[in-house]
Amino acid sequence: MQDSLKTRGVLRLPQVVALYTGAVLGSGILILPGLAAELAGPASLVAWGLMALLVVPMALTMGLLSAKYPDAGGVSSFVSKAFNPQIGSLIGWFFLLSVVVGAPVLALTGAGYICAAAGLGDTFRLLIALAILSAGILLNYTGMKITGQVQVAVVLTIIIVIIVTVMGSISSIEPSNFTPFMPSGWESIGHASALLFWCFIGWEAISHISGEFENPQRDAIRGTLIASLIISLLYFLTAFVVVGTHSYGPSLSDVSLVHIIRTSFGPAGAVVAGIAALFICIAPALAYIGAASRLACSLATSGFAPRQMARKSKKFHTPLGGLLFLAGCFFILLFVFSTRIVSISTLIQIPSGTFILTYIGGCAAGIVLLKGSRWGVLFSVISLILTSAVFLFVGWAVLYPLAIMLIWSIFIVITGRHRGIFTFHAS
């Protein structure tokens, strides 16, 4: 992939940390602490600890690649350099079409929580989701500097709300809630760990924005490590409070954090819970829209997407074509959701296979491109094994990447770009 967005590095370390944190710390924190506790009881804390450790190689693989090859093509560019442009473009389309579905899901989730808190109906949920996505499009249109500053404010708000909630819940924690520690056996820890994998993806998104870091060689690694620590602490503290207050079980597990916030803040808790959920969903939406729009521009510049997607804003030098493509897709997804043909639970599952395949491609590229670094190769191998194992459990969602591969194959054959597809090289 070519980096067609020749922009000046404007993102400093605080913005980099906020973008990484916002991309990874998504709506999973609203739901998964309770679901994991229901699955494994207090032993779910072991699963959180294991995933916090296992995710470090995955995060550092993306961080090391971003530091060495800062490019708007992100993982797509890494795979192109390691193997060939055709395979790189396929990985790029996997990620791009993951965001096409994933960003509206985030917006609908955040809008759903604030509507539940305020007693609003489905029409308001759609309007709020549309407002979230529109804000993401407009902020990324004006440039990553403003987007990064907004992301810092959003992430700080999330951190403050979670810490205040945890502190306010300490008095309600009962030691008896930690026994029996492992009610469902050791196997439950493994099942909970697989479930929690989704709380720790998002590192691949910022690789597309690394070209706009002020110092990518330094800040990609620092930003990854600092964000990993922040995210792991917030997840573990939330899970600890959920278990300690026994805020899980039938009809409670999928709203455990919101339940704790309502309890901690009293009568105003419902509003605080809605606002917290909204911010938690806005943060990754901003990061993913920024990443996907830049990738769309990169794919178009390289000839693997319609050339209209390569169009850039003359005023802000931002990927206008990519943003317009995303805006159109988001509108269609929201319209489909409004017809009730597809539920939010189904939409959540659709991009799971393509997200994992993006990671598999990036990790495989890391083994080739980071061969001068013993740790880099080790991280890449561990991450490749982990993500490949998780891919075995995507179920029916494998149909989405298969459909993308079919359309992609037809495209490269029609355009004659299939020549050399089996020639692998590292440049």
Torsional sign, CA 386, 388, 393, 395: positive
CA distance 186 to 226: 31
As a 3-state breakdown, the chain gives helix, strand, coil percent values, each rounded to 5, of 80, 0, 20
In this prediction, the residues of the chain whose per-residue pLDDT falls under 50 are none
Residue 422 has what pLDDT? 63
Name beta bridge partners: 41.
Answer: none
Residue 191, by phi and psi: left (phi above 0), alpha (psi -120 to 50) or beta?
Answer: alpha
Of the candidates 82, 38, 56, 185, the one whose C-alpha atom is nearest the C-alpha of residue 91 is 82
Give the 3-state secondary structure of residue 213: strand
CA distance 79 to 419: 17
For each of the domains in the chain, give its residue range(s) and CATH number, in order of start. 13-414 (1.20.1740.10)
Give the 3-state secondary structure of residue 11: strand
Residue 7 has what pLDDT? 54
Residue 8 has what pLDDT? 58
Residues 6+ apart with CB under 8 A from 305: 93, 296, 299
Residue 4 has what pLDDT? 52
Q: Please give the backbone phi and psi of residue 166, each rounded to the nearest 5 degrees, phi first.
A: -65, -45
Question: Considering the entire predicted model, what is its pTM?
Answer: 0.87
Residue 261: CA atoms inside 13 Å, Cβ hemisphere, count? 24
The residue to which tokens 């309502």 are assigned: 262
Longest dimension (CA), the chain: 66
CA distance 74 to 356: 15
Name the CA dihedral angle for 245, 247, 248, 250, rounded to a multiple of 10 degrees. 130
Torsional sign, CA 62, 65, 66, 67: positive
Of the candidates 158, 172, 142, the one whose C-alpha atom is nearest the C-alpha of residue 241 is 172
CA distance 244 to 172: 8
